[in-house]
């Protein structure tokens, strides 16, 4: 496996479990023994994760990525020692940041749950190759991340238009659509990763799924018992 | 080597093996003996700068990684000590060993004795060994190394302080016709000195580095960019000057160098350290060796080569590779090594596989439904681990871990008997997962996987915990903490082991045929070597005839008649029953993967669908069409290749030319093409010599930036200078100016104006012919071919090999190979080296019936795939694609192309794609286990 395999989920898992710092070691840039150059991808992930940490009030210094070759044991030791010094200075997770333990756990759980959404929204930037260290800071900005969370997109099935054809449910990668025969389908907003597969799959003649942008609240689903489909009159 | 008798295919060689006083079978390379040995002795590998012991491992990456005892041993000298015998836990020391005489029967021999670094003591003026801070580049190389005398610190011998102001002196022992020097250029020193400067600046950003040089010979692939990177570093000076070392400060031991520049005249300057960029000498004892093997040497004492086959000696069955061919760098050595291998393959093909035996493993049991039963084996590694980590306590700790049903210690888990013990224990205790807590998986994971396989367990149920490199070696002074850390590491491994899944490796059948794209010298040589080893070859050429650019070249600089050679090799190609030639051909489609490609070729033979196991891309290069210096406007202006053709024809134009001017570096070493075309300096020297030979009275001028007649070609440069061919250096900012004019006698000529670098004023040359050393540029078709075969290009637009040194004739795409000028401009001899090299690599594939692809590849859960394509976008191997299905787009994987890097896994939003053996569950179980036990 390559450093590019290190997943945002792994980093968040470590912090969620109470780790005070996470160090990612990769190969030197442009010295890939293959043609993968996955360390650039790892770097993007780290830059994103740092902003996410900031978003929930954690010090981004708690996460670092360093590059070295297999022959540079001393360099590795130097990097680790300096990182440990940083972490010791920061103290236990959340403490110097003045975060309440439970609040922090909640925030981390919230971000972890949104990893699929974050990956979808930031896919393009996560695949860039930053050749210049000066560009690191600007890849992801605080504002951008705040916006990502504050103006989250959602998908909603219009109960009037839904014909209960189950197409969306079959397409949903998360199984987040409550679907029963003859019953209006409902997106379980808690499970939904906001990928839009449902909307893409909903037959255009129904057009029952709507994308809600800018943090628009999702209307509540019709109460149980009132979910019977209103059949569209078939075109004669 | 004592003696060799016999002939190609059947040599009897008598070898004398000096005693190592170590039983190599038993030594595990743990180095406890080294620690206890009382004899300190200068470390030869570290250039005698630091001390080693009488018993030691030659260097950290030595193969085999075993110790040996040298002549400084007290027992060997005075019959006392024997401490090492006592401390070796594996009884590997054997002080009674005697020289062993071995007779072996071989079909062929490769001579790869390498070179000897030039000894600057041969010339007193360098003061090497006299001034303590004058060192050689080999000494400096060791100083830079993290396994070097000061663990990677650059320190002066005089005061063990970091030098701040360093100088490099180039061409030490090279390009010298005086006593003790070599007349040839050593070919590698310009670039290695630049590497030294870059690394020095990495160590100390403020270091002042000065390189005193003659021509800068950055002729290799990407070398020019490397040179420019070095030049642009702050505090780095390149000074073109001869130098002399004139003194040493008695107190500071600083060294004074005298040099001169056109601007400032003669100057003296003091440096903290002076590095002599020493060249390459022929290997020590080479004449005796040549005599024993019955081979001829050149005047320089390198191997005398067949110009049409630089890996061949004058004795059949004896081949040569590496720097014994002459001064060459690492990639070139690798070409020739692989190439010599291929030629031996041709010679001994009928006996291929006779010595190999098939390994049979017991049938694998399906334990996937069973509860995990983990066995942990904790290795002492002699004392390497056990003197820091408490092994007993660790074993007891392991027994407390969930799912661990067996834990034990082993002295050396890698020893044959220990591996057997693991296999037996698996069977006896019904283990279905094995963790060995020892060293880095890099070296021994394959061995232990094999051990597990021997017990009928899937090899992917094996997990390694590294408690040596990651623990005992780095925390030797914190024993208690190190023991705790070992527990953490093992706990993580056990957790991961429980989550491992059995994986199957793929056996892919190999189609035994090869497709060679390009019918120039590279493609033809490669085709012949492959076909001579019994494989069908499909040779595809876009032109109507074979030969490529070589058809336009009459002779090489060394005098080989290229046309005679071409006729000979083309005839061999057409007569070979296994080679199928397609001329006037284009490739319309290429699909498939290693061992199983299908390529569609349209040619004058119609449309053919070719099935092949390997593809070799040898599409050559093109020549730049100059837009400079009136080319295309005035018929007296031509490229050096056109001049070669005119000379070949002995045209009237040539016969009548009283003055010929050549301009080097036309169309390269500039912003558009930031590389050196490598061959043009020697080509111009060749043409100039020919022109002088035809008419010694004729004036010939070569206007150059750096003359790059590297290696043994330097002799021809010297010959040219001695024959009154005038070399005038120009700066890129002040290039020559060409305009039509009249000579003093009123003859129409081309007026070439250039600044004379010595007189610093403009001079005007009258030329009847102006020859431009036009750049070699990537073939027009290269992008198209690269896209067809899914391979990549380097920044200059030539093919990019998988690794410059480790895999120089292969692409990152498995089963696709490269050679010739499509890789980078090169001479015919170098092309032949590389073409055989590619053939050698191709044969390592085609000689097998199957290739095994790793089981640790990605898999897709189609239900979870949202069809976003994030995975396919990051896969550099083209292993992933999107298919339209009833439920929208879905990713599909070709596991054969997957290299297991897992980028796709990290990018997939839904977790639909996962990298087997490194799944989220496996990785996160380690994170959880780590935290859980803290």
Residue with tokens 């830059």: A47
* pLDDT exceeds 80 at position B553: yes
Which phi and psi angles does A168 have, rounded to 5°? Answer: -60, -40
Closest residue to B474, CB basis, from A71, A77, A201:
A77
Q: What is the arithmetic mean of pLDDT over B881-896? A: 93
- Contacts of residue A119 in chain B, CB cutoff 8 Å? 870, 907-909
On the CB side of B211, CA atoms within 13 Å amount to 25
Of A33-37, B118-122, B264-268, the range with the lowest mean pLDDT is: A33-37
ipTM score? 0.95
pLDDT tens digit string along B672-728?
A: 999 999 999 999 999 999 999 999 999 999 999 999 999 999 999 999 999 999 999
On the CB side of B722, CA atoms within 13 Å amount to 7
Which phi and psi angles does B630 have, rounded to 5°? Answer: 65, 15
B580 and B530 Cβ atoms separated by less than 8 Å: no
Best to test chain B binding among A3, A5, A74, A193 (most B CBs inside 10 Å):
A5
Q: Say what percent of chain B tops pLDDT 90.
A: 87
* pLDDT exceeds 90 at position B4: yes
* pLDDT exceeds 70 at position A77: yes
pLDDT tens digit string along A111-120?
A: 999 999 999 9
DSSP B543: S
DSSP B509: E
Q: What is the arithmetic mean of pLDDT over B361-379? A: 95
Structure confidence at residue A233 as a pLDDT band (50, 70, 90): low
Identify the pLDDT of residue A235: 43
Sign of torsion, CA B689 B694 B697 B698?
Answer: negative
- Contacts of residue B887 in chain A, CB cutoff 8 Å? 170-171, 201
Q: What is the arithmetic mean of pLDDT over B857-884? A: 94
Closest residue to B903, CB basis, from A5, A73, A117:
A5
Cβ–Cβ gap B868/A120 under 8 Å: yes
Of B161, B203, B197, B155, nearest in space to B49 by CA? B155
Of B667, B634, B666, nearest in space to B653 by CA? B634
- Contacts of residue B905 in chain A, CB cutoff 8 Å? 5, 7
Closest residue to A174, CB basis, from B868, B910, B928:
B910
Q: How far apart are CA A84 and CA A78, in angstroms?
A: 10
pLDDT tens digit string along B140-181?
A: 999 988 778 997 889 999 999 999 999 999 999 999 998 889
- Contacts of residue B863 in chain A, CB cutoff 8 Å? 173
- Contacts of residue B903 in chain A, CB cutoff 8 Å? 2, 4-5, 36, 38, 41
- Contacts of residue B932 in chain A, CB cutoff 8 Å? 17
Which ranges constitute the DSSP H helices of B368-511? Answer: 391-399, 416-429, 441-454, 479-499
Q: How far apart are CA B487 and CA B934, in angstroms?
A: 10
Shortest Cα distance, chain B CAs vs residue A174, angstroms: 7
Cβ–Cβ gap B931/A9 under 8 Å: no
Distance of CA B52 to the CA centre of its chain: 29
Shortest Cα distance, chain A CAs vs residue B463, angstroms: 14
Nearest CA in chain A to B906: A7
Of A77, A75, A33, A30, nearest in space to B145 by CA? A75
Q: Say what percent of chain B tops pLDDT 70.
A: 100
Shortest Cα distance, chain B CAs vs residue A120, angstroms: 6
B771 and B684 Cβ atoms separated by less than 8 Å: yes
- Contacts of residue A36 in chain B, CB cutoff 8 Å? 876, 899, 901, 903
Structure confidence at residue B43 as a pLDDT band (50, 70, 90): very high
Size of interface A-B (CB pairs under 8 A): 128
Return the beta strands (E) in B255-312 as ranges.
255-261, 265-271, 273-278, 280-281
- Contacts of residue B915 in chain A, CB cutoff 8 Å? 1, 5
Q: What is the arithmetic mean of pLDDT over B109-113? A: 98
Average pLDDT score, chain B: 95
Of B475, B476, B451, B474, nearest in space to B461 by CA? B451
Identify the pLDDT of residue A65: 97
Identify the pLDDT of residue B682: 97
Structure confidence at residue A236 as a pLDDT band (50, 70, 90): very low
* pLDDT exceeds 60 at position A234: no
* pLDDT exceeds 60 at position B665: yes
Best to test chain B binding among A36, A115, A122 (most B CBs inside 10 Å):
A36
On the CB side of A154, CA atoms within 13 Å amount to 20
As given in the structure block, the two tokens for residue B929 are: 């286990």
Rg for chain B, CA atoms, rounded: 32
Identify the pLDDT of residue B435: 98
Sign of torsion, CA A141 A142 A146 A151?
Answer: negative
Which phi and psi angles does B851 have, rounded to 5°? Answer: -115, 145
Residue with tokens 């940083």: A86
B324 and B113 Cβ atoms separated by less than 8 Å: yes
Give Cα separations from A181 to A178, A189, A203, B767, B771 (angstroms).
10, 20, 17, 92, 84
Strand duo B614-617 + B433-438: pairing: unpaired
Identify the pLDDT of residue A232: 63
Residue with tokens 């669908």: B609
Q: Angle A39-55/A142-150 helices, nearest 10 degrees?
A: 70
* pLDDT exceeds 80 at position A71: no
Nearest CA in chain B to A196: B866
Identify the pLDDT of residue A214: 86
Shortest Cα distance, chain A CAs vs residue B874, angstroms: 7
The 3 state secondary structure assigned to chain A is: CCHHHCCHHHHHHHHHCCCCCEEEEECCCCCCCCCCCCHHHHHHHHHHHHHHHHHCCCCHHHEEEEECCCCCHHHHHHHHHHHHHHHHHHCCCCCCCCCCHHHHHHHHHHHHHCHHHHHHHCHHHHCCCCCCHHHHHHHCCHHHHHHHHHCCCEEEECCCCCCCCCHHHHHCCCCCEEEECCEEEEECCCCCCCCCHHHHHCCCCCCCEEEECCCCCCCCCCCCCCCECCCCCCCC
Nearest CA in chain B to A22: B927
Residue B16 burial (C-beta neighbours within 10 Å; 0-12, 13-18, 19+): exposed
Task: Give B904's contacts (C-beta < 8 A, 6+ positions apart).
Answer: B858, B870, B871, B872, B874, B875, B880, B913, B915
Cβ–Cβ gap B901/A38 under 8 Å: yes
Shortest Cα distance, chain B CAs vs residue A90, angstroms: 19
As given in the structure block, the two tokens for residue B855 are: 């089981």
Nearest CA in chain A to B202: A75
Cβ–Cβ gap A5/B918 under 8 Å: yes
């Amino acid at each position: 496996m390559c450093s590019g395999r290190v997943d945002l989920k792994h980093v968040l898992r470590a912090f969620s479990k109470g780790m005070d710092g996470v160090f990612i070691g990769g190969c030197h840039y442009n010295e890939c023994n293959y043609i993968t150059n996955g360390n650039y991808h790892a770097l993007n992930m780290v830059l994103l994760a740092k902003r996410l940490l900031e978003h929930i009030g954690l010090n981004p210094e708690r996460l670092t990525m360093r590059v070295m070759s297999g022959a540079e044991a001393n360099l590795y030791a130097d990097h680790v020692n300096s990182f440990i010094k940083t972490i010791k200075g920061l103290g236990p997770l959340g403490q110097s940041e003045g975060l309440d333990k439970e609040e922090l756990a909640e925030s981390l759980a919230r971000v972890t749950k949104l990893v699929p959404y974050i990956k979808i929204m930031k896919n393009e930037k996560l695949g860039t190759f930053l050749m210049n260290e000066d560009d690191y800071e600007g890849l992801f900005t605080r504002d951008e991340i705040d916006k990502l969370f504050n103006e989250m997109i959602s998908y909603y099935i219009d109960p009037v238009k839904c014909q209960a054809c189950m197409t969306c449910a079959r397409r949903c990668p998360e199984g987040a659509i409550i679907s029963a025969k003859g019953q209006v389908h409902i997106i379980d907003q808690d499970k939904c990763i906001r990928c839009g597969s449902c909307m893409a799959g909903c037959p255009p003649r129904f057009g029952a799924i709507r994308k809600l942008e800018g943090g628009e609240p999702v209307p509540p689903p019709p109460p149980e018992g009132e979910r019977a489909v209103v059949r569209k009159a078939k075109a004669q | 080597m004592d003696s060799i008798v016999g002939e190609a295919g059947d040599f009897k060689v008598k070898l004398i093996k000096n005693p190592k006083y170590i039983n190599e079978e038993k030594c595990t390379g743990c180095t406890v003996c080294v620690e206890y040995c009382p004899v300190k002795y200068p470390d030869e590998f570290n250039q005698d700068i630091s001390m080693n012991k009488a018993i030691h491992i030659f260097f950290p990456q030595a193969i085999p990684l075993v110790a040996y005892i040298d002549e400084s041993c007290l027992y060997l000298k005075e019959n006392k000590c024997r401490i090492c015998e006592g401390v070796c836990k594996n009884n590997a020391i054997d002080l009674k060993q005697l020289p062993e005489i071995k007779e072996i029967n071989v079909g062929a021999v490769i001579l790869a004795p390498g070179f000897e670094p030039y000894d600057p003591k041969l010339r007193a003026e360098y003061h090497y060994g006299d001034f303590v801070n004058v060192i050689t580049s080999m000494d400096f190389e060791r100083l830079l190394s993290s396994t070097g005398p000061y663990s990677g610190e650059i320190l002066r011998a005089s005061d063990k302080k970091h030098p701040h102001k360093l100088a490099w002196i180039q061409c030490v022992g090279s390009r010298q016709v005086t006593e003790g020097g070599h007349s040839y250029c050593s070919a590698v020193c310009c670039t290695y000195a630049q590497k030294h400067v870059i690394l020095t600046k990495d160590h100390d950003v403020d270091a002042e580095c000065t390189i005193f040089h003659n021509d800068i010979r950055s002729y290799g692939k990407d070398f020019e960019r490397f040179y420019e990177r070095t030049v642009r570093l702050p505090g780095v000076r390149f000074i073109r000057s001869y130098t002399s070392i004139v003194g040493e400060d008695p107190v500071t031991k600083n060294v004074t160098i005298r040099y001169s520049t056109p601007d400032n005249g003669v100057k003296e300057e003091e440096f903290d350290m002076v590095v002599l960029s020493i060249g390459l000498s022929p290997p020590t004892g080479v004449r005796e060796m040549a005599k024993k093997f019955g081979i001829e040497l050149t005047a320089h004492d390198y191997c005398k080569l067949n110009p049409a086959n630089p890996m061949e000696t004058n004795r059949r069955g004896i081949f040569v590779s590496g720097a014994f061919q002459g001064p060459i760098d690492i990639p070139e050595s690798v070409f020739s090594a692989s190439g010599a291998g291929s030629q031996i393959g041709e010679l001994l093909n009928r006996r291929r596989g006779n010595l190999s035996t098939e390994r049979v493993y017991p049938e694998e049991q399906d334990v996937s439904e069973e509860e995990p039963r983990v066995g942990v084996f904790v290795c002492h590694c002699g004392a390497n681990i056990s003197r820091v980590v408490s092994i007993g306590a660790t074993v007891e700790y392991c027994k407390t871990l969930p799912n661990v049903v067996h834990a034990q210690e082993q002295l050396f888990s890698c020893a044959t008997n220990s591996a057997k013990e693991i296999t037996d224990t698996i069977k006896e205790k019904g283990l279905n997962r094995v963790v060995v807590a020892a060293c880095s998986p890099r070296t021994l994971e394959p061995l232990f996987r094999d051990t597990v396989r021997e017990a009928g367990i899937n090899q992917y149920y094996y997990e390694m915990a590294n408690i040596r490199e990651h623990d005992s070696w780095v925390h030797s002074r914190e024993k208690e903490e190190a023991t705790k850390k070992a527990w953490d590491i093992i706990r993580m491994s056990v957790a991961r082991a429980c989550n491992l899944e059995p994986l199957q490796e793929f056996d892919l059948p190999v189609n035994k045929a090869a497709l060679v794209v390009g019918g120039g010298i590279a493609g033809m040589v490669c085709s012949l070597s492959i076909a001579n080893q019994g494989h069908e070859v499909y040779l595809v050429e876009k032109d109507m005839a074979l030969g490529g650019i070589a058809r336009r070249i009459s002779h090489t600089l060394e005098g080989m008649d290229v046309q005679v050679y071409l006729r000979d090799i083309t005839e061999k190609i057409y007569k070979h029953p296994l080679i199928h030639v397609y001329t006037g051909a284009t490739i319309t489609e290429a699909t498939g993967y290693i061992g199983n490609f299908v390529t569609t070729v349209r040619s004058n033979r119609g449309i053919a669908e070719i099935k092949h196991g390997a593809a070799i891309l040898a599409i050559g290069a093109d020549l730049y069409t100059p837009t400079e210096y009136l080319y295309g406007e005035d018929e007296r202006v031509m490229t050096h290749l056109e001049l070669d053709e005119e000379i070949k024809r002995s045209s009237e134009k040539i016969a009548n030319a009283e003055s010929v001017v050549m301009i080097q570096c036309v169309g390269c070493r500039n912003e558009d093409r930031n590389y050196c075309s490598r061959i043009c300096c020697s080509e111009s020297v060749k043409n100039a010599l020919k022109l002088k030979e035809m008419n010694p009275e004729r004036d010939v001028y070569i206007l150059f930036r750096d003359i790059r007649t590297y290696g043994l070609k330097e002799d021809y440069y010297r010959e040219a200078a001695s024959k009154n061919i005038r070399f005038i250096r120009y700066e890129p900012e002040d290039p020559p100016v060409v305009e039509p004019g009249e000579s003093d006698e009123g003859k129409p000529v081309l007026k070439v104006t250039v600044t004379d670098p010595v007189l610093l004023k403009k001079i005007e040359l009258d030329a009847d012919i102006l020859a431009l050393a036009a750049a070699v540029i990537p073939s027009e078709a290269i992008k198209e071919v690269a896209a067809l075969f899914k391979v990549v290009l380097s920044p200059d637009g030539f093919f990019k090999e998988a690794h410059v040194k480790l895999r120089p004739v292969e692409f990152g795409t498995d089963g696709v190979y490269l050679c010739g000028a499509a890789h980078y401009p090169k001479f015919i001899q170098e092309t032949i080296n590389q073409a055989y090299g590619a053939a050698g690599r191709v044969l390592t594939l085609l000689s097998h019936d199957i290739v095994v692809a790793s089981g640790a590849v990605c898999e897709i859960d189609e239900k979870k795939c949202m069809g976003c394509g994030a995975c396919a976008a990051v896969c550099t191997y083209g292993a992933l694609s999107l298919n339209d299905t009833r439920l929208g787009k879905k990713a599909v994987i070709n596991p054969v192309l997957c290299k297991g890097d897992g980028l796709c896994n990290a990018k997939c939003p839904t977790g639909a794609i996962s990298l087997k053996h490194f799944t989220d569950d496996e990785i996160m179980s380690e994170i959880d286990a780590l935290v859980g036990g803290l």
